[in-house]
Structure 1
Amino acid sequence: MLDKTFHWSWITRDGHQDTSAHAAARFPYWSFTKTVIAICAMKLSDTGMVELDTHLDGEAYTLRQLLQHTAGIADYGQLADYHRDVAARQLPWPREKLLAAVKAKGTLFPPGEGWAYSNVGYMLAREHLESVSGRSFSSLLNELIIAPLGLQSVELATTQEQFASLHWQAAAQYHPGWVYHGCLTGTANDAAKILHALFSGELLSDKIREHMLVRYPLGGAIPGRPWTECGYSLGLMSGKIDQGKRAIGHSGAGPFCVNAVYHFPDRADPITVACFTEGIDEGLAEFYAARLASRG
Protein backbone atom coordinates (compact mmCIF):
# COMPACT_ATOMS: atom_id res chain seq x y z
CA MET A 1 0.00 0.00 0.00
CA LEU A 2 1.35 3.44 -0.94
CA ASP A 3 2.07 5.94 1.85
CA LYS A 4 -0.27 8.96 1.76
CA THR A 5 2.37 11.24 3.29
CA PHE A 6 4.18 11.17 -0.06
CA HIS A 7 3.01 13.19 -3.05
CA TRP A 8 4.15 11.79 -6.36
CA SER A 9 3.75 11.41 -10.09
CA TRP A 10 5.32 9.07 -12.63
CA ILE A 11 5.44 8.78 -16.43
CA THR A 12 6.88 5.98 -18.56
CA ARG A 13 8.38 6.14 -22.03
CA ASP A 14 5.37 4.30 -23.45
CA GLY A 15 2.98 6.89 -22.00
CA HIS A 16 1.70 5.14 -18.89
CA GLN A 17 1.33 7.50 -15.94
CA ASP A 18 -0.16 7.92 -12.50
CA THR A 19 -0.19 10.52 -9.75
CA SER A 20 -1.15 10.73 -6.09
CA ALA A 21 -4.46 12.05 -4.81
CA HIS A 22 -3.01 15.55 -4.36
CA ALA A 23 -2.40 16.13 -8.07
CA ALA A 24 -2.91 19.91 -7.85
CA ALA A 25 -0.71 20.44 -4.77
CA ARG A 26 2.33 22.63 -5.42
CA PHE A 27 5.75 22.22 -3.86
CA PRO A 28 9.19 23.84 -3.84
CA TYR A 29 11.49 22.08 -6.28
CA TRP A 30 14.61 23.08 -4.30
CA SER A 31 17.70 21.70 -6.05
CA PHE A 32 15.77 20.17 -8.93
CA THR A 33 15.98 23.79 -10.08
CA LYS A 34 19.65 23.04 -10.86
CA THR A 35 18.54 20.48 -13.44
CA VAL A 36 16.35 23.11 -15.09
CA ILE A 37 19.18 25.68 -15.11
CA ALA A 38 21.44 23.09 -16.74
CA ILE A 39 18.81 22.24 -19.38
CA CYS A 40 18.53 25.95 -20.23
CA ALA A 41 22.32 26.14 -20.49
CA MET A 42 22.43 23.15 -22.83
CA LYS A 43 19.70 24.61 -25.05
CA LEU A 44 21.53 27.94 -25.28
CA SER A 45 24.78 26.08 -25.96
CA ASP A 46 23.09 24.20 -28.79
CA THR A 47 22.21 27.51 -30.46
CA GLY A 48 25.72 28.89 -29.93
CA MET A 49 24.59 31.60 -27.50
CA VAL A 50 26.74 30.29 -24.64
CA GLU A 51 30.02 28.37 -24.55
CA LEU A 52 30.40 25.58 -22.04
CA ASP A 53 34.19 25.45 -22.06
CA THR A 54 35.21 29.10 -22.34
CA HIS A 55 36.32 30.82 -19.14
CA LEU A 56 33.78 33.28 -17.82
CA ASP A 57 34.97 36.88 -17.98
CA GLY A 58 37.74 37.44 -15.47
CA GLU A 59 37.35 33.98 -13.93
CA ALA A 60 39.39 30.77 -13.97
CA TYR A 61 36.35 28.51 -14.35
CA THR A 62 33.98 27.63 -17.18
CA LEU A 63 30.22 27.26 -17.34
CA ARG A 64 30.60 23.48 -17.60
CA GLN A 65 32.61 23.46 -14.37
CA LEU A 66 29.94 25.51 -12.59
CA LEU A 67 27.23 23.12 -13.78
CA GLN A 68 29.20 20.05 -12.70
CA HIS A 69 30.40 21.46 -9.35
CA THR A 70 34.06 21.22 -10.42
CA ALA A 71 34.78 24.98 -10.37
CA GLY A 72 36.14 24.99 -6.80
CA ILE A 73 33.49 27.48 -5.60
CA ALA A 74 32.69 27.32 -1.89
CA ASP A 75 29.06 27.20 -0.70
CA TYR A 76 26.87 28.93 1.86
CA GLY A 77 25.73 25.60 3.26
CA GLN A 78 28.77 25.67 5.54
CA LEU A 79 28.06 29.18 6.89
CA ALA A 80 26.68 29.07 10.44
CA ASP A 81 25.40 32.65 10.14
CA TYR A 82 23.40 31.73 7.04
CA HIS A 83 21.60 28.91 8.85
CA ARG A 84 21.08 31.10 11.91
CA ASP A 85 19.37 33.83 9.93
CA VAL A 86 17.24 31.39 7.94
CA ALA A 87 16.06 29.80 11.19
CA ALA A 88 15.35 33.27 12.65
CA ARG A 89 13.17 34.06 9.58
CA GLN A 90 15.32 37.00 8.62
CA LEU A 91 15.16 38.48 5.14
CA PRO A 92 17.70 37.00 2.69
CA TRP A 93 21.09 38.64 2.62
CA PRO A 94 21.99 40.91 -0.28
CA ARG A 95 23.90 39.04 -2.98
CA GLU A 96 27.08 40.99 -2.19
CA LYS A 97 27.01 39.97 1.49
CA LEU A 98 26.45 36.34 0.56
CA LEU A 99 29.32 36.33 -1.96
CA ALA A 100 31.68 38.08 0.45
CA ALA A 101 31.00 35.46 3.12
CA VAL A 102 31.57 32.62 0.67
CA LYS A 103 34.68 34.16 -0.92
CA ALA A 104 36.19 34.61 2.54
CA LYS A 105 36.55 30.83 2.59
CA GLY A 106 38.67 30.98 -0.55
CA THR A 107 38.53 28.60 -3.49
CA LEU A 108 38.38 24.94 -2.57
CA PHE A 109 40.64 23.73 -5.41
CA PRO A 110 41.76 24.88 -8.86
CA PRO A 111 38.89 24.59 -11.37
CA GLY A 112 38.66 21.11 -12.85
CA GLU A 113 40.80 19.49 -10.15
CA GLY A 114 38.11 18.36 -7.72
CA TRP A 115 34.41 18.28 -6.95
CA ALA A 116 32.39 20.16 -4.33
CA TYR A 117 28.65 20.81 -4.36
CA SER A 118 27.99 24.54 -4.63
CA ASN A 119 24.69 26.39 -4.70
CA VAL A 120 26.73 29.54 -5.26
CA GLY A 121 28.22 27.98 -8.39
CA TYR A 122 24.70 27.56 -9.75
CA MET A 123 23.84 31.13 -8.87
CA LEU A 124 26.83 32.23 -10.96
CA ALA A 125 25.80 29.88 -13.78
CA ARG A 126 22.27 31.29 -13.83
CA GLU A 127 23.58 34.86 -13.80
CA HIS A 128 25.87 34.03 -16.71
CA LEU A 129 22.95 32.73 -18.77
CA GLU A 130 21.01 35.89 -17.99
CA SER A 131 23.95 38.14 -18.87
CA VAL A 132 24.77 36.46 -22.18
CA SER A 133 21.13 36.17 -23.31
CA GLY A 134 20.10 39.60 -22.01
CA ARG A 135 17.02 38.00 -20.46
CA SER A 136 15.85 37.03 -16.99
CA PHE A 137 15.88 33.41 -15.91
CA SER A 138 12.06 33.51 -15.71
CA SER A 139 11.90 34.59 -19.34
CA LEU A 140 14.33 31.88 -20.46
CA LEU A 141 12.45 29.32 -18.40
CA ASN A 142 9.15 30.20 -20.05
CA GLU A 143 10.52 30.16 -23.61
CA LEU A 144 12.75 27.11 -23.35
CA ILE A 145 10.77 24.80 -21.04
CA ILE A 146 7.38 25.96 -19.75
CA ALA A 147 5.80 26.98 -23.07
CA PRO A 148 7.11 24.05 -25.15
CA LEU A 149 5.87 21.52 -22.58
CA GLY A 150 2.61 23.32 -21.80
CA LEU A 151 3.32 23.37 -18.06
CA GLN A 152 0.65 25.10 -15.98
CA SER A 153 2.05 25.16 -12.46
CA VAL A 154 5.78 25.91 -12.71
CA GLU A 155 7.09 29.32 -11.71
CA LEU A 156 10.15 30.91 -10.15
CA ALA A 157 9.32 31.87 -6.56
CA THR A 158 10.75 35.18 -5.37
CA THR A 159 8.42 36.18 -2.50
CA GLN A 160 7.09 34.73 0.72
CA GLU A 161 3.57 35.28 -0.63
CA GLN A 162 4.32 32.79 -3.41
CA PHE A 163 5.62 30.27 -0.91
CA ALA A 164 2.52 30.76 1.26
CA SER A 165 0.45 29.23 -1.56
CA LEU A 166 2.38 25.93 -1.44
CA HIS A 167 1.10 22.70 0.03
CA TRP A 168 2.69 22.77 3.48
CA GLN A 169 1.87 25.53 5.95
CA ALA A 170 5.52 25.77 6.96
CA ALA A 171 6.29 27.17 3.50
CA ALA A 172 4.71 30.49 4.51
CA GLN A 173 7.54 31.00 7.03
CA TYR A 174 10.32 30.68 4.45
CA HIS A 175 11.64 33.27 2.00
CA PRO A 176 12.72 31.68 -1.32
CA GLY A 177 15.38 34.36 -1.69
CA TRP A 178 17.54 32.23 0.60
CA VAL A 179 17.95 29.86 -2.38
CA TYR A 180 20.36 32.02 -4.31
CA HIS A 181 20.30 30.15 -7.61
CA GLY A 182 16.49 30.39 -7.53
CA CYS A 183 13.75 28.04 -6.38
CA LEU A 184 11.14 26.79 -8.82
CA THR A 185 7.76 25.65 -7.54
CA GLY A 186 5.09 23.49 -9.11
CA THR A 187 3.24 20.19 -8.98
CA ALA A 188 4.83 16.76 -8.77
CA ASN A 189 3.35 16.01 -12.18
CA ASP A 190 5.04 19.00 -13.83
CA ALA A 191 8.38 18.11 -12.21
CA ALA A 192 8.08 14.61 -13.68
CA LYS A 193 7.12 16.07 -17.06
CA ILE A 194 10.28 18.20 -17.19
CA LEU A 195 12.65 15.30 -16.56
CA HIS A 196 10.60 12.95 -18.76
CA ALA A 197 10.82 15.49 -21.58
CA LEU A 198 14.60 15.62 -21.20
CA PHE A 199 14.91 11.88 -21.70
CA SER A 200 12.22 11.58 -24.36
CA GLY A 201 13.94 14.10 -26.62
CA GLU A 202 11.36 16.87 -26.29
CA LEU A 203 13.83 19.35 -24.80
CA LEU A 204 17.24 18.38 -26.16
CA SER A 205 18.53 16.38 -29.09
CA ASP A 206 20.06 12.98 -28.31
CA LYS A 207 23.53 14.36 -29.04
CA ILE A 208 23.21 17.34 -26.69
CA ARG A 209 21.57 15.23 -23.99
CA GLU A 210 24.41 12.70 -24.09
CA HIS A 211 26.82 15.62 -23.75
CA MET A 212 24.88 16.71 -20.67
CA LEU A 213 24.98 13.19 -19.19
CA VAL A 214 28.78 12.85 -19.14
CA ARG A 215 29.40 12.43 -15.43
CA TYR A 216 32.05 13.03 -12.82
CA PRO A 217 32.40 9.84 -10.72
CA LEU A 218 32.07 10.37 -6.98
CA GLY A 219 32.29 6.95 -5.39
CA GLY A 220 30.08 4.40 -3.71
CA ALA A 221 27.25 4.14 -1.21
CA ILE A 222 25.87 7.04 0.83
CA PRO A 223 24.59 6.11 4.32
CA GLY A 224 20.82 6.49 4.67
CA ARG A 225 20.26 6.87 0.94
CA PRO A 226 19.66 4.31 -1.81
CA TRP A 227 22.82 5.01 -3.80
CA THR A 228 25.37 2.24 -4.37
CA GLU A 229 27.35 4.26 -6.94
CA CYS A 230 27.38 8.04 -7.28
CA GLY A 231 28.31 10.62 -9.85
CA TYR A 232 27.30 14.07 -11.09
CA SER A 233 26.61 15.15 -14.66
CA LEU A 234 25.55 18.67 -15.71
CA GLY A 235 22.72 19.47 -13.29
CA LEU A 236 22.01 15.78 -12.76
CA MET A 237 22.86 13.35 -10.01
CA SER A 238 23.77 10.14 -11.80
CA GLY A 239 24.51 6.73 -10.34
CA LYS A 240 23.14 3.33 -9.43
CA ILE A 241 20.68 2.10 -6.83
CA ASP A 242 18.63 -1.03 -6.19
CA GLN A 243 20.81 -3.89 -7.45
CA GLY A 244 22.79 -1.78 -9.89
CA LYS A 245 19.94 -0.02 -11.71
CA ARG A 246 20.72 3.47 -12.94
CA ALA A 247 19.00 6.58 -11.59
CA ILE A 248 19.49 10.04 -13.11
CA GLY A 249 17.88 13.24 -11.83
CA HIS A 250 18.08 15.38 -8.72
CA SER A 251 16.99 15.41 -5.10
CA GLY A 252 16.25 18.57 -3.15
CA ALA A 253 15.84 19.63 0.45
CA GLY A 254 14.76 22.66 2.44
CA PRO A 255 13.80 23.36 6.05
CA PHE A 256 10.42 21.60 5.86
CA CYS A 257 10.27 19.25 2.85
CA VAL A 258 12.34 17.14 0.48
CA ASN A 259 11.96 15.82 -3.04
CA ALA A 260 13.41 13.32 -5.48
CA VAL A 261 12.92 13.62 -9.25
CA TYR A 262 14.60 10.74 -11.07
CA HIS A 263 14.61 8.89 -14.37
CA PHE A 264 15.16 5.13 -14.24
CA PRO A 265 16.37 4.11 -17.72
CA ASP A 266 17.05 0.40 -17.16
CA ARG A 267 13.44 -0.78 -17.03
CA ALA A 268 11.87 -2.34 -20.12
CA ASP A 269 9.62 0.73 -20.10
CA PRO A 270 11.86 3.49 -18.62
CA ILE A 271 10.10 5.56 -15.98
CA THR A 272 10.45 9.08 -14.57
CA VAL A 273 9.30 9.69 -10.99
CA ALA A 274 8.81 12.85 -8.94
CA CYS A 275 8.21 12.44 -5.19
CA PHE A 276 7.72 15.03 -2.42
CA THR A 277 7.35 14.60 1.34
CA GLU A 278 7.79 16.46 4.63
CA GLY A 279 11.02 16.50 6.61
CA ILE A 280 14.68 17.14 5.87
CA ASP A 281 15.88 13.65 4.87
CA GLU A 282 16.36 13.41 1.10
CA GLY A 283 16.84 9.67 1.44
CA LEU A 284 13.17 9.23 2.34
CA ALA A 285 12.06 10.74 -0.98
CA GLU A 286 14.72 8.86 -2.93
CA PHE A 287 13.81 5.47 -1.47
CA TYR A 288 10.14 6.12 -2.16
CA ALA A 289 10.86 7.22 -5.73
CA ALA A 290 12.75 3.97 -6.30
CA ARG A 291 9.81 2.04 -4.82
CA LEU A 292 7.40 3.80 -7.18
CA ALA A 293 9.69 3.05 -10.12
CA SER A 294 9.60 -0.65 -9.31
CA ARG A 295 5.80 -0.64 -9.16
CA GLY A 296 4.98 1.71 -12.03
Structure 2
Amino acid sequence: MADSGGALLFPYWSFTKTVIAIIALRVAESGKINLDQPLRERPFTLRQLLNHTAGLPDYGTLPAYHRAVANDEEPWSRDNLLQLAMAQGMRFAPGFGWAYSNVGYMLARELVEETAGQSLGDLVKDMISVPLGLQSLELAIDRRQFSRVHWGAAQRYHPGWVYHGCLIGTPRDAALLLHALFAGKILRTTSLQQMLTCVPVGGAIDGRPWTECGYGLGLMSGRMGLAGRAIGHSGGGPFSVNAIYHFPDQSNPRTVASFTDGCDEGLAEFAAVRCSGTQ
Protein backbone atom coordinates (compact mmCIF):
# COMPACT_ATOMS: atom_id res chain seq x y z
CA MET A 1 0.00 0.00 0.00
CA ALA A 2 1.23 3.49 -0.77
CA ASP A 3 -0.20 6.71 0.60
CA SER A 4 2.34 9.35 -0.33
CA GLY A 5 5.52 10.04 -2.20
CA GLY A 6 7.50 7.72 -4.42
CA ALA A 7 7.82 7.46 -8.17
CA LEU A 8 5.57 4.44 -8.67
CA LEU A 9 2.61 5.00 -10.98
CA PHE A 10 -0.92 3.89 -10.13
CA PRO A 11 -4.27 3.97 -11.96
CA TYR A 12 -6.50 6.72 -10.59
CA TRP A 13 -9.69 4.98 -11.79
CA SER A 14 -12.73 7.09 -10.80
CA PHE A 15 -10.66 9.93 -9.36
CA THR A 16 -10.53 10.78 -13.06
CA LYS A 17 -14.17 11.88 -12.65
CA THR A 18 -13.01 14.61 -10.27
CA VAL A 19 -10.59 15.86 -12.93
CA ILE A 20 -13.27 15.76 -15.65
CA ALA A 21 -15.57 17.84 -13.43
CA ILE A 22 -12.79 20.35 -12.73
CA ILE A 23 -12.13 20.77 -16.45
CA ALA A 24 -15.86 21.10 -17.19
CA LEU A 25 -16.06 23.93 -14.67
CA ARG A 26 -12.99 25.60 -16.14
CA VAL A 27 -14.62 25.49 -19.58
CA ALA A 28 -17.81 26.89 -18.03
CA GLU A 29 -15.78 29.72 -16.48
CA SER A 30 -14.69 30.68 -20.00
CA GLY A 31 -18.34 31.03 -21.03
CA LYS A 32 -18.13 28.25 -23.62
CA ILE A 33 -20.54 25.92 -21.86
CA ASN A 34 -23.60 26.18 -19.62
CA LEU A 35 -23.90 23.51 -16.94
CA ASP A 36 -27.70 23.85 -16.85
CA GLN A 37 -28.56 23.95 -20.54
CA PRO A 38 -30.15 20.70 -21.80
CA LEU A 39 -27.76 18.92 -24.13
CA ARG A 40 -28.45 18.63 -27.84
CA GLU A 41 -31.00 15.84 -28.43
CA ARG A 42 -30.66 14.80 -24.77
CA PRO A 43 -33.09 15.35 -21.87
CA PHE A 44 -30.40 16.11 -19.28
CA THR A 45 -27.79 18.76 -18.52
CA LEU A 46 -24.04 18.66 -17.98
CA ARG A 47 -24.55 19.38 -14.29
CA GLN A 48 -26.80 16.32 -14.05
CA LEU A 49 -24.14 14.20 -15.72
CA LEU A 50 -21.52 15.45 -13.28
CA ASN A 51 -23.58 14.80 -10.12
CA HIS A 52 -25.15 11.53 -11.34
CA THR A 53 -28.73 12.84 -11.43
CA ALA A 54 -29.24 12.37 -15.20
CA GLY A 55 -30.94 9.01 -14.72
CA LEU A 56 -28.52 7.14 -16.98
CA PRO A 57 -27.78 3.45 -16.46
CA ASP A 58 -24.23 2.19 -15.90
CA TYR A 59 -22.22 -0.31 -17.93
CA GLY A 60 -20.86 -1.79 -14.70
CA THR A 61 -24.13 -3.71 -14.38
CA LEU A 62 -23.52 -5.61 -17.64
CA PRO A 63 -22.24 -9.18 -17.01
CA ALA A 64 -20.84 -9.30 -20.55
CA TYR A 65 -18.70 -6.27 -19.78
CA HIS A 66 -17.08 -7.97 -16.79
CA ARG A 67 -16.55 -11.19 -18.74
CA ALA A 68 -14.81 -9.32 -21.53
CA VAL A 69 -12.53 -7.51 -19.07
CA ALA A 70 -11.72 -10.76 -17.25
CA ASN A 71 -10.82 -12.37 -20.60
CA ASP A 72 -8.49 -9.47 -21.43
CA GLU A 73 -10.38 -8.66 -24.61
CA GLU A 74 -9.99 -5.44 -26.55
CA PRO A 75 -12.48 -2.73 -25.50
CA TRP A 76 -15.79 -2.54 -27.30
CA SER A 77 -16.45 0.41 -29.56
CA ARG A 78 -17.93 3.43 -27.88
CA ASP A 79 -21.20 3.06 -29.81
CA ASN A 80 -21.55 -0.62 -28.96
CA LEU A 81 -20.93 0.08 -25.29
CA LEU A 82 -23.48 2.88 -25.24
CA GLN A 83 -26.09 0.78 -27.05
CA LEU A 84 -25.72 -2.11 -24.60
CA ALA A 85 -25.80 0.16 -21.58
CA MET A 86 -28.79 2.19 -22.74
CA ALA A 87 -30.72 -1.00 -23.58
CA GLN A 88 -31.15 -1.30 -19.80
CA GLY A 89 -33.35 1.81 -19.87
CA MET A 90 -33.20 5.08 -18.00
CA ARG A 91 -33.15 4.72 -14.23
CA PHE A 92 -35.40 7.75 -13.65
CA ALA A 93 -36.33 11.07 -15.24
CA PRO A 94 -33.39 13.51 -15.17
CA GLY A 95 -33.25 15.41 -11.90
CA PHE A 96 -35.56 13.02 -10.04
CA GLY A 97 -33.09 10.65 -8.42
CA TRP A 98 -29.44 9.70 -8.05
CA ALA A 99 -27.60 6.78 -9.62
CA TYR A 100 -23.86 6.44 -10.21
CA SER A 101 -23.17 6.22 -13.93
CA ASN A 102 -19.87 5.82 -15.76
CA VAL A 103 -21.87 6.33 -18.96
CA GLY A 104 -22.74 9.81 -17.74
CA TYR A 105 -19.09 10.71 -17.33
CA MET A 106 -18.27 9.34 -20.77
CA LEU A 107 -20.86 11.72 -22.23
CA ALA A 108 -19.58 14.57 -20.04
CA ARG A 109 -16.04 14.01 -21.28
CA GLU A 110 -17.18 14.00 -24.90
CA LEU A 111 -19.13 17.24 -24.45
CA VAL A 112 -16.20 18.98 -22.79
CA GLU A 113 -13.78 17.83 -25.50
CA GLU A 114 -16.13 18.95 -28.27
CA THR A 115 -16.73 22.34 -26.68
CA ALA A 116 -13.10 23.03 -25.83
CA GLY A 117 -11.79 21.64 -29.13
CA GLN A 118 -9.15 19.60 -27.31
CA SER A 119 -8.73 16.03 -26.15
CA LEU A 120 -9.09 15.22 -22.47
CA GLY A 121 -5.39 14.40 -22.29
CA ASP A 122 -4.45 17.82 -23.65
CA LEU A 123 -6.93 19.58 -21.37
CA VAL A 124 -5.48 17.80 -18.33
CA LYS A 125 -1.99 18.85 -19.39
CA ASP A 126 -2.88 22.49 -20.10
CA MET A 127 -5.23 23.13 -17.16
CA ILE A 128 -3.77 20.93 -14.43
CA SER A 129 -0.48 19.10 -15.01
CA VAL A 130 1.65 21.97 -16.30
CA PRO A 131 0.27 24.77 -14.07
CA LEU A 132 0.59 22.63 -10.93
CA GLY A 133 3.85 20.92 -11.90
CA LEU A 134 2.37 17.43 -11.68
CA GLN A 135 4.86 15.64 -13.91
CA SER A 136 3.57 12.09 -13.43
CA LEU A 137 -0.02 12.78 -14.45
CA GLU A 138 -1.20 11.45 -17.81
CA LEU A 139 -4.25 9.95 -19.46
CA ALA A 140 -3.63 6.28 -20.28
CA ILE A 141 -5.09 5.37 -23.65
CA ASP A 142 -3.25 2.17 -24.58
CA ARG A 143 -1.71 -0.97 -23.10
CA ARG A 144 1.83 0.39 -23.40
CA GLN A 145 1.08 3.28 -21.08
CA PHE A 146 -0.91 1.17 -18.67
CA SER A 147 1.85 -1.44 -18.43
CA ARG A 148 3.92 1.13 -16.52
CA VAL A 149 1.66 1.15 -13.45
CA HIS A 150 2.74 -0.64 -10.28
CA TRP A 151 0.34 -3.59 -10.27
CA GLY A 152 1.40 -6.59 -12.29
CA ALA A 153 -2.23 -7.28 -13.22
CA ALA A 154 -2.14 -4.12 -15.34
CA GLN A 155 -0.31 -6.16 -17.96
CA ARG A 156 -3.64 -7.82 -18.77
CA TYR A 157 -5.87 -4.76 -18.89
CA HIS A 158 -6.65 -2.16 -21.54
CA PRO A 159 -7.46 1.29 -20.07
CA GLY A 160 -9.99 1.75 -22.85
CA TRP A 161 -12.41 -0.27 -20.71
CA VAL A 162 -12.74 2.89 -18.60
CA TYR A 163 -14.85 4.78 -21.09
CA HIS A 164 -14.59 8.19 -19.45
CA GLY A 165 -10.80 7.78 -19.32
CA CYS A 166 -8.30 6.61 -16.73
CA LEU A 167 -5.57 8.89 -15.45
CA ILE A 168 -2.37 7.40 -14.07
CA GLY A 169 0.18 9.04 -11.81
CA THR A 170 1.84 8.95 -8.42
CA PRO A 171 -0.08 9.06 -5.12
CA ARG A 172 1.75 12.29 -4.33
CA ASP A 173 0.48 14.01 -7.48
CA ALA A 174 -3.08 12.80 -6.82
CA ALA A 175 -2.97 14.36 -3.35
CA LEU A 176 -1.35 17.54 -4.62
CA LEU A 177 -4.02 17.90 -7.30
CA LEU A 178 -6.89 17.64 -4.83
CA HIS A 179 -5.13 19.86 -2.29
CA ALA A 180 -4.61 22.52 -4.95
CA LEU A 181 -8.33 22.42 -5.72
CA PHE A 182 -9.22 23.29 -2.12
CA ALA A 183 -6.43 25.86 -1.93
CA GLY A 184 -8.14 27.78 -4.73
CA LYS A 185 -5.38 27.19 -7.26
CA ILE A 186 -7.53 25.66 -10.01
CA LEU A 187 -11.07 27.05 -9.90
CA ARG A 188 -12.72 30.32 -9.01
CA THR A 189 -14.42 30.39 -5.62
CA THR A 190 -17.89 30.33 -7.17
CA SER A 191 -16.99 27.29 -9.28
CA LEU A 192 -15.59 25.42 -6.28
CA GLN A 193 -18.78 26.17 -4.38
CA GLN A 194 -20.78 24.61 -7.22
CA MET A 195 -18.51 21.58 -7.17
CA LEU A 196 -19.13 21.14 -3.44
CA THR A 197 -22.92 21.43 -3.64
CA CYS A 198 -24.03 17.90 -2.81
CA VAL A 199 -26.91 15.62 -3.55
CA PRO A 200 -27.54 13.63 -0.34
CA VAL A 201 -26.95 9.95 -1.02
CA GLY A 202 -27.22 8.19 2.34
CA GLY A 203 -25.71 7.37 5.70
CA ALA A 204 -23.31 4.76 7.00
CA ILE A 205 -21.97 2.08 4.63
CA ASP A 206 -21.02 -1.35 5.95
CA GLY A 207 -17.32 -2.06 5.68
CA ARG A 208 -16.45 1.55 4.86
CA PRO A 209 -15.75 4.60 7.05
CA TRP A 210 -18.61 6.70 5.69
CA THR A 211 -21.17 7.85 8.26
CA GLU A 212 -22.82 10.35 5.89
CA CYS A 213 -22.65 10.39 2.08
CA GLY A 214 -23.32 12.86 -0.68
CA TYR A 215 -22.12 13.61 -4.21
CA GLY A 216 -21.23 16.99 -5.68
CA LEU A 217 -19.77 17.61 -9.13
CA GLY A 218 -17.15 14.89 -9.44
CA LEU A 219 -16.71 14.75 -5.68
CA MET A 220 -17.83 12.23 -3.11
CA SER A 221 -18.55 14.28 0.00
CA GLY A 222 -19.75 13.44 3.48
CA ARG A 223 -18.39 12.44 6.85
CA MET A 224 -16.04 9.66 7.92
CA GLY A 225 -16.65 9.27 11.64
CA LEU A 226 -14.14 11.07 13.88
CA ALA A 227 -12.24 12.30 10.82
CA GLY A 228 -15.17 14.65 10.12
CA ARG A 229 -15.82 15.82 6.61
CA ALA A 230 -14.15 13.98 3.76
CA ILE A 231 -14.23 15.31 0.20
CA GLY A 232 -12.66 13.62 -2.79
CA HIS A 233 -13.21 10.37 -4.64
CA SER A 234 -12.68 6.64 -4.27
CA GLY A 235 -11.96 4.48 -7.27
CA GLY A 236 -11.45 0.91 -8.26
CA GLY A 237 -10.79 -1.45 -11.12
CA PRO A 238 -10.46 -5.21 -11.45
CA PHE A 239 -7.20 -5.37 -9.47
CA SER A 240 -6.74 -2.21 -7.36
CA VAL A 241 -8.56 0.51 -5.46
CA ASN A 242 -7.80 4.00 -4.18
CA ALA A 243 -9.14 6.73 -1.93
CA ILE A 244 -8.09 10.36 -2.48
CA TYR A 245 -9.62 12.73 0.08
CA HIS A 246 -9.32 16.14 1.67
CA PHE A 247 -10.11 16.31 5.39
CA PRO A 248 -10.97 19.95 6.14
CA ASP A 249 -12.03 19.46 9.78
CA GLN A 250 -8.59 18.47 11.05
CA SER A 251 -6.62 21.10 13.01
CA ASN A 252 -4.16 20.90 10.14
CA PRO A 253 -6.35 20.03 7.12
CA ARG A 254 -4.78 17.25 5.11
CA THR A 255 -5.21 15.72 1.69
CA VAL A 256 -4.43 12.02 1.48
CA ALA A 257 -4.04 9.55 -1.38
CA SER A 258 -4.19 5.85 -0.51
CA PHE A 259 -3.75 3.00 -3.00
CA THR A 260 -3.90 -0.76 -2.51
CA ASP A 261 -4.46 -3.92 -4.52
CA GLY A 262 -7.69 -5.91 -4.40
CA CYS A 263 -11.27 -4.76 -4.84
CA ASP A 264 -12.21 -3.38 -1.39
CA GLU A 265 -12.55 0.40 -1.59
CA GLY A 266 -13.24 0.47 2.14
CA LEU A 267 -9.68 -0.72 2.81
CA ALA A 268 -8.22 2.26 0.95
CA GLU A 269 -10.71 4.64 2.59
CA PHE A 270 -9.88 3.46 6.13
CA ALA A 271 -6.18 3.91 5.30
CA ALA A 272 -6.92 7.47 4.17
CA VAL A 273 -8.70 8.16 7.47
CA ARG A 274 -5.69 6.89 9.44
CA CYS A 275 -3.38 9.09 7.40
CA SER A 276 -5.60 12.13 7.94
CA GLY A 277 -4.30 12.56 11.49
CA THR A 278 -7.48 11.47 13.24
CA GLN A 279 -6.71 10.48 16.82
What range describes the TM-score normalised by the shorter chain of this pair? over 0.9
Report the AA paired with residue 67 of structure 1.
L
- The range that moved more, 156-165 or 30-39, is 156-165
Quote the residue 1:182 is aligned against: 165
Work out whether residues 70 and 111 of structure 1, in 8 Å CA contact, stay in contact via their aligned partners in 2: yes
Deviations 1:161-182, CA, capped at 9 Å, x for gaps: 1111111111111100000000
Deviations 1:9-32, CA, capped at 9 Å, x for gaps: 2xxxxxxxxx3xxx0000000000
> 1:36-115, aligned counterparts within 5 Å?
36-115=19-98
SS in 2 for 1:53: coil
Quote the residue 1:150 is aligned against: 133
In 2, Cα distance between equivalents of 1:41 and 1:130: 9
Quote the residue 2:254 is aligned against: 271
| Identical residues among aligned pairs (%) | 58
- Normalising by the residue count of structure 2, what TM-score does the alignment of the two structures yield? 0.98
Quote the residue 2:263 is aligned against: 280
Work out whether residues 17 and 105 of structure 2, in 8 Å CA contact, stay in contact via their aligned partners in 1: yes
Structure 2: state its 5+ residue gaps: none
Determine if the alignment matches structure 1 residue 249 to structure 2 residue 232: yes
In 1, Cα distance between equivalents of 2:34 and 2:187: 16
Quote the residue 1:3 is aligned against: none
In 2, Cα distance between equivalents of 1:211 and 1:273: 22
Ranges of 4+ aligned residues in structure 1 off by more than 6 Å: none
Quote the residue 2:151 is aligned against: 168
In 2, Cα distance between equivalents of 1:283 and 1:196: 21
Deviations 1:191-221, CA, capped at 9 Å, x for gaps: 0011001000110122210111000001101
Deviations 1:247-294, CA, capped at 9 Å, x for gaps: 000000011110000000001211100010111000000000000002
SS in 1 for 2:201: strand
Determine if the alignment matches structure 1 residue 116 to structure 2 residue 123: no
In 2, Cα distance between equivalents of 1:255 and 1:212: 28
Quote the residue 1:8 is aligned against: 3
Measured after TM superposition, the shift of residue 244 of structure 1 is 6.5
Quote the residue 2:113 is aligned against: 130
SS in 1 for 2:232: strand
Structure 1: state its 5+ residue gaps: 1-5, 10-18
In 1, Cα distance between equivalents of 2:278 and 2:50: 32
Work out whether residues 198 and 215 of structure 2, in 8 Å CA contact, stay in contact via their aligned partners in 1: yes
In 2, Cα distance between equivalents of 1:122 and 1:248: 19
Report the AA paired with residue 88 of structure 2.
K
Deviations 1:77-99, CA, capped at 9 Å, x for gaps: 10000001100111000011101
Determine if the alignment matches structure 1 residue 205 to structure 2 residue 200: no
Work out whether residues 228 and 244 of structure 1, in 8 Å CA contact, stay in contact via their aligned partners in 2: no
In 1, Cα distance between equivalents of 2:25 and 2:243: 22
Report the AA paired with residue 182 of structure 2.
F
SS in 2 for 1:248: strand
**2:208 aligned to which of 225, 237, 244:** 225
Measured after TM superposition, the shift of residue 243 of structure 1 is 2.8
**1:140 aligned to which of 123, 131, 151:** 123
- Normalising by the residue count of structure 1, what TM-score does the alignment of the two structures yield? 0.93
Measured after TM superposition, the shift of residue 242 of structure 1 is 1.9
In 2, Cα distance between equivalents of 1:207 and 1:98: 35
In 1, Cα distance between equivalents of 2:229 and 2:212: 9
In 1, Cα distance between equivalents of 2:47 and 2:243: 23
